[in-house]
Structure 1
């Protein structure tokens, strides 16, 4: 498996956060291809390989899903719940990356099957550090499940 096979799917509705996360991943030397969708409905379509996401060569299944919780149309919680019910997709690691540090959100995300819950740091340098650690663990060190 090459680096280009290890796609990260970012589900984030805030365009500024997408720019910051993209830039922070580059600074952190996490060079995996990053696919971005902006709501829960698009996330489910991407993961199902439906509509414009049907071409798996162009839109491969991710090895890691970075999921915001507060999304339009379909919430991050609903995406997570749906994903964990899909036999062929349930093993995709999900890291919640959100601005909420509310204990009820943390607990609910874990109850629905999140693998990790991270609060977006305010400072860019802290975001770079967080994403560097995230990339090291989830992309390099962590053993990936069979699809």
Structure 2
């Protein structure tokens, strides 16, 4: 039995990596709020990428299970993509500082909740080992 590498801990670890990537992306956008022609970016996760790819995927008939399916790269890692659904300022920059600050706050709350969950799991292990009292 692996008490540290179980599926819940791996899920929490992946979620923490995702919030860290999102934090870096948001911070980069905020740092470039006044940079001319800068395009804001966002962090997109696997399920969102898959959904977008399914909408644009070429449907093909596979005659053998060994044939590769049509589609893009599937990854569990979050991807950073340009945000295209915003208006551009007079200098060609599309960073909305209010949106970025809100996203930063939400991401920080999510990150803190994940850290609390992971700490709680490790505290339970410590108590079970008789070291936490």
TM-score range, shorter chain: under 0.3
Greater length-normalized contact order (CA 8 Å, ≥ 6 residues apart): 2
Per residue, is there more helix in 1 or in 2? 2
Per residue, is there more strand in 1 or in 2? 1
Q: TM-score, structure 2 length as denominator? A: 0.27
